[in-house]
Structure 1
């Protein structure tokens, strides 16, 4: 195990989580509504922002399986990560130039930054099997999420001060402080990504790789068609994908709708923002602790425990009436959010052939992005027909219960054996190709 590369991999979560917390969760929604879309009515602005998120996620879902296949074939996941991450950083920096009424520019920048952030994460996740053996992945994956909580939380705290106390930073207004916050996210993301840019792991490239982008695309599409056909060989991976489809939709809906739900029942903005910070800092030690449990007791068992706690969160959320209740629920989310995602990532990495993690994590990305459509829709639809967002939050029980039911059927050891057998077959094919070309070279000589 290359300890320097592992530390760099963990630090990247510290780096890019600033985008998730400051841009996606806290600052951009308010900035978009009050500045970029100030010339639109509030409902139209909210709709445009939602559509923009959907377009960005759709682009990621369509791009990453092909690019993942190419990263596997070329052995250069780090190069693909670098291109996507820098694209996201530049787009994030661009938010600082958005003026009043520039909603189209803001939407374009959000689509580009989403592609950079989420697309880069596909290659980041796919590096995990290249860095550590299966028995260490639960702990290392958890460390990544844990450090992400601290990194994202620290910069969010600083950004909130920039916006609420702009004079402390030499700024003359809240808007100037907001623009500075966007700049700080781009610089933070860049600075702490440098170690992984330098030390990203590489695998040997496949033999006879083409010399042009057109050739890469043709080979990548052919590889994708093979992968679609071969997925039936991995029934445990397919079950895990289905389980993930359900419970990830529930988790994402809680993340996306928590502040809106809190606002609808009368909880103030300051309490909502402080609760978001609380989630970040509780998430750090709890993700590490539960990650250690996952390494000892098994990722599947700890994931089941975290989903059980999410069911409790949904039920308690239905009865929530005061700010203190929101703080308590935010604390519970902090306990399980990181470990539920980190254990899912390590489980996936164990159920995939190690030579195809880029393309398979691309499929996971598709599953995650498309599934994220349904939870918010069900939340809104149930809330609309019942006249209460409380019933909307309670409807999320379905996603967690269904996800747990499918997850219970996943046989992890069998899935790992299926993945190892596929790796052996790929290696035999590769060795046969190398021997064939070697023999031809000897004959021609």
Structure 2
């Protein structure tokens, strides 16, 4: 597996794009937004608008995902579309550097566009798993991708933390100038480490004919709109009862996972932790997540993917409660370890669990719905936290509200049958 260039090229994209998830979404952007671009907003308003920004990006992806999936499957354009949205994210992120202090509206728009590029590219990245992986390697390959993502996110975050704390090493005298340079570094990192996928991974063209004919007849891309494409995609995917049940469960529990990823730094700042404590916790999560995600892939193959996901959700329930009661940085570091142990594993096993339900030739279509529901879930969680914080003026209640998502998601997942391998079409 580790000698296959297509697998390595595919997995390295997770190393590439995780710099955005770690340094931008989870790390520096919430802090710089609050302390530089939005200094005229209160803490509660800051949390609210960050939630709105994340929700808006997710909503845009929800709207376009099924149409993109139809195009990706019909014309075997998964890789070109991935690279196009990657470039959109890279260019938008690089423009953060030019936004002036106090101009929070402009930078929030750029953040939304960059996040759309990041999330839309992931639709096709996930779909390419079936092109690079053999049937008996799904869990391990999926885990490898997430593992490299955590390692890449940790390394890039460590570099940016060092540069921000030692601005003189890059010729600047202030921390904010160094952080703005870090946003440029994020863009370069994302682009450069996407090149192995561009050169080593090929789209699989389905040779059976019938699936392509079904797609062609179901969605005429010349004559139908986004809404029709969305409804058609839902009808095709939701005819599969087990896929339907799993997607409902996934929509619920991944909302909790994504909300913790996106809002953890803002929550930590709101309850009084120092930025240095939060960045150290992020680094702990990243470097714990690297081996944990890979080992999770092997565990899924041995004990069952569904059991692995359920175990991770159980740990997240504990994490949410501990987040509500924690008072010291040491407790935050313990939570960071726990998150690192299960976050990548839950994501990787969810992806490989779902792959087994996909008919040949329909990977992008199925993953458009998968990502659509995942991103629409990410609308609910940040808005829930933001609304609870704004209404109660108590940020601890906002993190506690996430617990219901994990409990309900686990209940629905318990009704899903473990699938057999179905749609691995490329190897």
TM-score scaled by structure 2? 0.89
Q: Quote the residue 1:361 is aligned against.
A: 367
TM-score scaled by structure 1? 0.86
Whether the aligned pair in 2 keeps the contact of 1:67 and 1:220 (CA below 8 Å) is no
Partner Cα separation in structure 2 for residue 143 and residue 341 of structure 1: 12
**Total equivalences in the alignment:** 416
How many Å apart are 1:227 and its aligned residue? 3.2
Partner Cα separation in structure 2 for residue 201 and residue 220 of structure 1: 28
* 1:127-159 C-alpha deviation (Å, 9 max, x unpaired): 111211332111111111110111111111111
Asked if 1:312 corresponds to 2:305, the answer is: no
Change (3 A) 1:320 1:199: same
* Between 291-300 and 312-321, the greater mean CA deviation after superposition: 312-321
Q: Quote the residue 1:249 is aligned against.
A: 255
Q: Quote the residue 2:30 is aligned against.
A: 29
Q: Quote the residue 2:290 is aligned against.
A: 284
Partner Cα separation in structure 1 for residue 134 and residue 150 of structure 2: 24
Partner Cα separation in structure 1 for residue 225 and residue 385 of structure 2: 38
Change (3 A) 1:7 1:20: same
Whether the aligned pair in 1 keeps the contact of 2:245 and 2:413 (CA below 8 Å) is yes
Asked if 1:398 corresponds to 2:399, the answer is: no
Residue 180 of structure 2 aligns to a residue in which SS? helix
Note the 1:16-415 alignment, pairs <5 A. 16-38=17-39, 44-204=45-205, 216-218=221-223, 224-380=230-386, 388-413=394-419
Partner Cα separation in structure 2 for residue 46 and residue 315 of structure 1: 20
Between Structure 1 and Structure 2, which shows a larger proportion of helix residues? 1
* 1:69-101 C-alpha deviation (Å, 9 max, x unpaired): 110011121011111101111111111111123
Change (3 A) 1:394 1:166: same
Partner Cα separation in structure 1 for residue 90 and residue 55 of structure 2: 20
How many Å apart are 1:295 and its aligned residue? 1.7
* 1:289-330 C-alpha deviation (Å, 9 max, x unpaired): 121111222211111111111112122223312111111111
Identify the structure with bigger relative contact order (alpha carbons < 8 Å, sequence gap 6+): 2
* Between 139-148 and 376-385, the greater mean CA deviation after superposition: 376-385
Asked if 1:4 corresponds to 2:10, the answer is: no
Cα root mean square deviation, aligned: 2.7
How many Å apart are 1:28 and its aligned residue? 1.5
How many Å apart are 1:41 and its aligned residue? 5.8
Q: Quote the residue 1:435 is aligned against.
A: none
Change (3 A) 1:237 1:401: same
Q: Whose Rg is larger?
A: 1
Residue 354 of structure 1 aligns to a residue in which SS? coil
Change (3 A) 1:29 1:390: closer
